[in-house]
Structure 1
Amino acid sequence: MATRARATTLLLAAILFTAAAAAVASREDRRGETSLGRCMQRCEEDRPSYERARCLQQCKEQQRQQQQEEERRREHGRHDDDRSSSRDRRGEGSSEEEDERREQGTSGRRPYVFGRRSFRQVVRSEQGSVELLLPFNQASSLLRGIKNYRVAVLEANPRSFVVPSHIDAHCICYVAQGVGVVATIENGEKRSYTIRQGDVFVAPAGTITYLANTDGRRKLIVTKILHTVSVPGQIQFFFGAGGRNPESFLSSFSKRVQRAAFKARISEERLEKLLGRQDKGVIIRASEEQVSELRRQASEGGHGPHWPLPPFGESSRGPFNILEQRPRFANRHGRLYEADARSFHDLAEHDIRVSLVNISAGSMNAPFFNTRSVKVAYVLDGEGEAEIVCPHMSRGEGGEREGRRREQGKGRWHEEEEEEEEEQQVGKGYETIRARLSRGTVFVVPSGHPVVASASRDATLQIVCFDVHAENNERMYLAGTNSVLKKLDPQAKELAFASSAREVDEMLNAQQEEAFLAGPEQQSGRRGEEEEDEGRRRRHRGRGDEAVETLLRMAVGAA
C-alpha cells in the first residue's frame, strides 16, 4: 500500500509540474506574440514604405532569437534548480548566476545599469567587431528621454582597416586605447588625421568615414555615443564595401543601374567584385605598406590644435585630446578631464560633453548631481561600485509592475505611469540603485539624480562619460570644499537639518577635499588610526598629569 501511495504521489507531482511548465510556456508565447505585434506596429508607423518589408523580417528574426534565448534560459534553470536549492540550504546566499544578472542590470529594479551582455554585435570579422547597446527606452520607460541615443564600441585588431561607411546618426567618439588613422569625407572634402588614446572626434550623420589601426601590437578601441536622426533609437549602417555579410550597399543596386552609374564596360563578374562582393567583411587586414601610406597621408593632412573660437567661425574637424588639457579637478583621489563646446567646437552642434574620470584605488567621487544633462557612462578599466539615488522607484516595487503596465495597452500604460509619478511627488521615498562596475559596464544617471562612483582597493577606476543635453548644465557637488550645501543661509541649515547652523557647518567643513574623496574603506581605516592616536594622546596626558601632581606635592611639602 505504501509503495502504491508513493507512486500515486509522484504521478500527481509530475502532472502538476507539467501543467505549471505548460502555463509558463503559454505566458512566454503570449508575451512573445505581444512583443512581435508591437515591433510590427512600429514598422508600419515609423518606417517608410520601402523599408517596411525588411523591418517586418527583422521583427520576426528578433522574436525567433528571443524564443531561443528563453528556451536556453529555461533549460539552464532546470539544470541549476537542484544546485541552487542545495546552496540555499547551506546558507551561502544567492547564486553566482543571480549575482551576474544583478551586475548586468537585467533586473527590473536596476533600469540604469547595463552589463556587457546588453550589447549586440552588429559587425564581426576576424579582424574586429562593432557592438551596439540596446535602445534605452526599450530597457525602461524611465530612459525614454534619451531614446534617440545609442552606445557603441569598435574594436579593431592591430594593422586592420575598417572599410568606408556611413550611418544615419551623429557619432561622438572617444579613443579608449591604441593609435590609428581616421579619414572623413564631408561637404565634398576629405580630411585625414591620426588618433590616439584620449582623443575625442566627431563624425556627423552621413559622413563617409574609414579608419585603420596603425599599431602592430595593440587593439584600437573606440567608444561612441550615437545620436539618431532618422528613426529614434534605430541605427542603420551603410557599408560602401564589404562581403556578403554585411553586404555593400553599392552591390544592392540592380545590374543595369550599376552599369549606367559607373559606365562600366567590364564584365558583370568584374563589376560585382569591384562593388564589394568579397568575403573578407568590413574590418579587414591591411599590409604594412598600406598602413604606412595611410599614416603618411594623415600626417600631411593633419590639423593643428582646436581653439575655443575657430577663425572665421569655421571648425576644422579633427581630434581633441582631453588628456593633454588641464584637469577640471585633480587631487590624490582622482582626476576629471573634460571636452565641451567651449574647448572643442565640434561638440557645439551636438549638445554633448565628453569627460574622462580617473578614480584612484580605494577612492570615490564626491556625491553630486547634474542640473540638466543625462550622464551615459562607460567603464573603460578597473572595478568598483556606483550608487544612484532614484525617486521614480519606491521601495518594494520592481520592473515586474512596469512590465505589466506595458501589456495593458498604450493609452492605459501612460495613464498609470502618470499616476505613479504623481505618487512619487508626494514623497514615497527613494530607491538607491547599487551596481558593480567593471570593464564594459554602462550606467545612466538622469538629470537631478545624485550619484557616487567608487574604485576598488586594487586598481584605478576609469570611466568615459557622455553628458547629453550639456548646454548650461551645472554639476552640483553635495560634499567637499565646493559643496553647494555650504551656500545655504544659517536659518535654512537649521530648518533643513533640524540642528544648529554650527553643527551643520561642522559636518560640511570637515571634508577638506574637492570633487574626489577617500572612499568608505579608506575612511574607516583612517578613522581607526585617528581613534588609536587619540587614545595614545590621552594616555600621555594622564601620565603627564600624574607627574605634575607629584611635583606639586613635593613643592608643598618643602614649603
Structure 2
Amino acid sequence: MATRGRATIPLLFLLGTSLLFAAAVSASHDEEEDRRGGRSLQRCVQRCQQDRPRYSHARCVQECRDDQQQHGRHEQEEQGRGHGRHGEGEREEEQGRGRGRRGQGEREEEQGRGRGRRGEGERDEEHGDGRRPYVFGPRSFRRIIRSDHGFVKALRPFDEVSRLLRGIRNYRVAIMEVNPRAFVVPGLTDADGVGYVAQGEGVLTVIENGEKRSYTVRQGDVIVAPAGSIMHLANTDGRRKLVIAKILHTISVPGKFQYFSAKPLLASLSKRVLTAALKTSDERLGSLLGSRQGKEEEEKSISIVRASEEQLRELRRQASEGDQGHHWPLPPFRGDSRDTFNLLEQRPKIANRHGRLYEADARSFHALAQHDVRVAVANITPGSMTAPYLNTQSFKLAVVLEGEGEVEIVCPHLGRDSERREQEHGKGRWRSEEEEDDRRQQRRRGSGSESEEEQDQQRYETVRARVSRGSAFVVPPGHPVVEIASSRGSSNLQVVCFEINAERNERVWLAGRNNVIAKLDDPAQELAFGRPAREVQEVFRAKDQQDEGFVAGPEQQQEHERGDRRRGDRGRGDEAVEAFLRMATAAL
C-alpha cells in the first residue's frame, strides 16, 4: 500500500503540471486575441474619425464596439462547437480588413455618392441625428395607392423621420402618377390638398358644397382641393403620364391621411341601412356594389382604372363647357378663380440668364388664402444656382421635377444637437427629450446665462446632398439654403416648392444684388465680420453682385475667373508690345 501511494505522487505532480501549462497557454492565447481585437477596434475608430463627418463619429464608434462584441460572441460559440482557430482566423481577417463590407464599404459608398437611403431620409433616426435629415431620395416615398394604371406615393410623416421636423408633423408630401387614358375613381381625402401639375394634361372634377366644377388641368397649374370634397381625375393625354406633386394638410390624425373611394365606402354600410336610405332592393344593391370591399388591397386596386376613349371624350366635353380657369383675365380677376391657376403663364417674379422663379400666393390665387401656402417653381439653368437665402417664417417643402444637382442646407439645430448627443453617446447612453428639457430648466435655475452660453458655443452643420427627379427636401425657417443645377446635365433643374406659413414670410437673400448684408450700416458690418466696413462692402456691394435670385454656380464662377486671368495675361502682353512700339518710334 505504501509503495502504491508513493507511485501515485509523481502521477499527480505530472497531471498538475499539465493543467498549469494548459492554463498558461490558454491565457496567452486569450491575451493575443484581446490584443488583436483591440487593434481591430482601434483601426475601426480611426476610420470613423477620418472618413465620417464629425457629428456622426459617436455613432460610428458605437457601431465598431457593437461589431467587436458581436465578433467576440461568435468566437465563443465557434470555440464551443470545436471549430478552433481556423474560424477565428477567418473572422479576424475579415474584421481587420475594415469592419466588414457593411460597416465601412457601404458607409463610404453612401457618403461619397450622397444618395444612400440613410442619408436621403429613409432610415433617419427618430431623434434626427442622421447625416441628412432634411433630404429624401425617390426611394423614400412609399406607395399609398397602387394599380396597373398609376399610383400615389408619399413620404413618411415628418415627425417619424426627425424630431427637427415636428413643426410640420401635420403635413405630408405626395406624388401622383396617372397613366395615359387612366381614371382616378371618385373619392375623398381627409386632408386639404395643394397640388402642382408637373407633367401632362387631364380633366379634374370637384364636388364641393353641392356644386360640381369640371375643368382641364395641364402643366404649370396649381390646384387646391379641400378635405372631404368628392373628386375624380382623368388623364386625357394618350401618350404622357399625368404627374401631380402635392402637399396634404392632415386633419383627422396628425400626419396620417386616407383616400376613400366612393364604391367601397358605400359598400361598407350594412345592406339594411342602404336599402332604407336609397329606397331600393337588395338585388339591385348587390348588382351595383357587389360584395363588401373588406381588404385594403382591393380598395387600392380599384382606385385607378382604365377609361375608354368614349368616356374620355365625354369628360373633356363637360370640362370644356364648365372650364373657365384658363380663359379668365389675368390678376386680380384671375385670382378669384376657385379652379386652377397656371404659374407658367404668369410673369416670373425673378428672371435672368441663370434661372427663373414663378410664384403663386393668396394675392394672385385667392384659393390659397385659407391654406396660408405659397407655391413657387424654380427653373435653374445648368451650372447655375440660387443665391443663398432663408425664409423667416415658412417651412419649405420641395420636390425636384426635372434635372439633377445639389442642395446645401445650413442647420444650427443639427450642429448643436449632434454635438451634445455625441458626448452623451460616448458615455454610453442617449438623453431623452424630456431629460433634455429638465436639464435646461435646472441650468436656468442655476445660471441665468444658459441660453447665451449655448449660442456662443453654437456650431452649424451644412447638410449637402445630390438631388434628382423625384427627390424631395425640407428647409425649416431660418435655415439658409442653396440649390445648384448640375453643369453636366442637359436639362434645367426644376423644383416646385410649397411654402407653409406664407402670409408673414419674408425671403432674405444673403448674396446677389438685394442681399441683406450690403444693407447693414458700416459699424454693423465691422462688428459682424471683425474687418473694416470697406472690405466687407468690397465683397457684398461689388459690381459682380448684380444678379438677383439666381447666380453663377461654383463651376461657372471658376471658369469665369480662369477666363479673366487669360484675358489679363493677354492684356499685359498687349501693353508690353505697345511699350516696345513707343520706344522704337521714339528712337527713330
Q: TM-score scaled by structure 1?
A: 0.78
- 2:395 paired residue number: 374
Deviations 1:409-449 (A, max 9, x none): 66335445888987643342211111111111111111111
Work out whether residues 394 and 424 of structure 1, in 8 Å CA contact, stay in contact via their aligned partners in 2.
Answer: no
Task: Give the letter aligned to residue 223 of structure 1.
Answer: A
Work out whether residues 386 and 437 of structure 1, in 8 Å CA contact, stay in contact via their aligned partners in 2.
Answer: yes
Deviations 1:128-154 (A, max 9, x none): 101011111111111111111111111
Distance in 2 (alpha carbons) for counterparts of 1:471 and 1:489? 28
Distance in 1 (alpha carbons) for counterparts of 2:451 and 2:142? 32
Deviations 1:307-335 (A, max 9, x none): 64559xx9442110000000000111100
Distance in 2 (alpha carbons) for counterparts of 1:385 and 1:449? 16
Q: Which of 516, 524, 527 is matched with 2:550 structurally?
A: 516
- 1:270 paired residue number: 287
1:377 Cα deviation after fit: 0.6
Distance in 1 (alpha carbons) for counterparts of 2:387 and 2:153? 32
Aligned residues: CA RMSD: 3.6
Deviations 1:166-215 (A, max 9, x none): 11111001000000000000011100000000000101111111100001
Distance in 2 (alpha carbons) for counterparts of 1:535 and 1:494? 35
Distance in 2 (alpha carbons) for counterparts of 1:535 and 1:543? 13
Q: Which of 196, 209, 212 is matched with 2:218 structurally?
A: 196
Task: Give the letter aligned to residue 359 of structure 1.
Answer: I
Q: Which of 442, 463, 475 is matched with 1:445 structurally?
A: 475
Distance in 2 (alpha carbons) for counterparts of 1:476 and 1:468? 16
1:499 Cα deviation after fit: 2.8
- 1:546 paired residue number: 580
Aligned pair in 2 of structure 1 residues 390, 96: CA closer, same or farther (>3 Å)? closer
2:126 is aligned with 1:112 = no
Secondary structure, aligned partner of 2:371: coil
2:295 is aligned with 1:259 = no
Deviations 1:442-499 (A, max 9, x none): 1111111111010001131000000000002111111111112221112222332233
Distance in 2 (alpha carbons) for counterparts of 1:269 and 1:484? 68
Q: Which of 409, 412, 419 is matched with 1:388 structurally?
A: 409
Q: Which of 261, 266, 282 is matched with 1:250 structurally?
A: 266
Task: Give the letter aligned to residue 273 of structure 1.
Answer: G
Distance in 2 (alpha carbons) for counterparts of 1:416 and 1:422? 16
- 1:325 paired residue number: 346
Segments of 5+ residues of structure 2 without an aligned counterpart are 1-20, 38-66, 76-94, 125-129, 444-449
Deviations 1:478-537 (A, max 9, x none): 111111222111222233223333322221223221111110001001101110110111
Deviation larger for 442-451 or 103-112: 103-112
2:362 is aligned with 1:346 = no
Task: Give the letter aligned to residue 170 of structure 1.
Answer: D
Distance in 2 (alpha carbons) for counterparts of 1:252 and 1:301? 33
Segments of 5+ residues of structure 1 without an aligned counterpart are 23-76, 242-247
1:550 Cα deviation after fit: 3.6
Aligned pair in 2 of structure 1 residues 551, 307: CA closer, same or farther (>3 Å)? closer
1:344 Cα deviation after fit: 0.2
Distance in 1 (alpha carbons) for counterparts of 2:243 and 2:74? 44
1:380 Cα deviation after fit: 0.7
Count, aligned residues: 486
Q: Which of 564, 567, 588 is matched with 1:530 structurally?
A: 564
- 1:173 paired residue number: 195
- 2:524 paired residue number: 492
Residue identity (%): 50
Work out whether residues 250 and 276 of structure 1, in 8 Å CA contact, stay in contact via their aligned partners in 2.
Answer: no
Distance in 2 (alpha carbons) for counterparts of 1:211 and 1:197? 15
Distance in 1 (alpha carbons) for counterparts of 2:150 and 2:236? 14
Distance in 1 (alpha carbons) for counterparts of 2:423 and 2:228? 37
Secondary structure, aligned partner of 1:231: coil
1:373 Cα deviation after fit: 0.9
- 2:434 paired residue number: 411
Work out whether residues 385 and 484 of structure 2, in 8 Å CA contact, stay in contact via their aligned partners in 1.
Answer: yes
Work out whether residues 117 and 139 of structure 2, in 8 Å CA contact, stay in contact via their aligned partners in 1.
Answer: no
Distance in 2 (alpha carbons) for counterparts of 1:466 and 1:399? 32
Aligned pair in 2 of structure 1 residues 394, 95: CA closer, same or farther (>3 Å)? closer
Distance in 2 (alpha carbons) for counterparts of 1:148 and 1:306? 35
Once the two structures are superposed, the pairs formed by residues 77-476 of structure 1 within 5 Å of their partners are 83=101, 99-101=115-117, 103-105=119-121, 106-107=123-124, 108-241=130-263, 248-267=264-283, 269-273=286-290, 281-304=302-325, 305=328, 308-309=331-332, 315-394=336-415, 397=418, 411-412=434-435, 414-415=437-438, 424-457=454-487, 458=489, 459-476=491-508
Distance in 1 (alpha carbons) for counterparts of 2:103 and 2:158? 35
Deviations 1:65-105 (A, max 9, x none): xxxxxxxxxxxx9xx975568969xx987687985235523
1:262 Cα deviation after fit: 1.5
Secondary structure, aligned partner of 1:392: helix
Secondary structure, aligned partner of 2:364: coil
Deviations 1:253-305 (A, max 9, x none): 11211221222224153143298798851100000000110011001011243
1:229 Cα deviation after fit: 1.8
Work out whether residues 354 and 552 of structure 2, in 8 Å CA contact, stay in contact via their aligned partners in 1.
Answer: yes
Work out whether residues 306 and 344 of structure 1, in 8 Å CA contact, stay in contact via their aligned partners in 2.
Answer: no
- 1:73 paired residue number: none
Structure showing greater Rg: 2
Distance in 1 (alpha carbons) for counterparts of 2:201 and 2:149? 16
Deviation larger for 211-220 or 414-423: 414-423
Deviations 1:16-35 (A, max 9, x none): 6477589xxxxxxxxxxxxx
Aligned pair in 2 of structure 1 residues 154, 434: CA closer, same or farther (>3 Å)? same
1:339 Cα deviation after fit: 0.5
Q: Which of 489, 492, 502 is matched with 2:534 structurally?
A: 502
Aligned pair in 2 of structure 1 residues 212, 21: CA closer, same or farther (>3 Å)? farther
Deviation larger for 94-103 or 464-473: 94-103
Distance in 1 (alpha carbons) for counterparts of 2:317 and 2:399? 32
Q: TM-score scaled by structure 2?
A: 0.75
Work out whether residues 196 and 245 of structure 2, in 8 Å CA contact, stay in contact via their aligned partners in 1.
Answer: yes
Distance in 2 (alpha carbons) for counterparts of 1:456 and 1:99? 15
Work out whether residues 205 and 233 of structure 2, in 8 Å CA contact, stay in contact via their aligned partners in 1.
Answer: yes
Aligned pair in 2 of structure 1 residues 172, 272: CA closer, same or farther (>3 Å)? same
Task: Give the letter aligned to residue 275 of structure 2.
Answer: R
Distance in 2 (alpha carbons) for counterparts of 1:102 and 1:514? 35
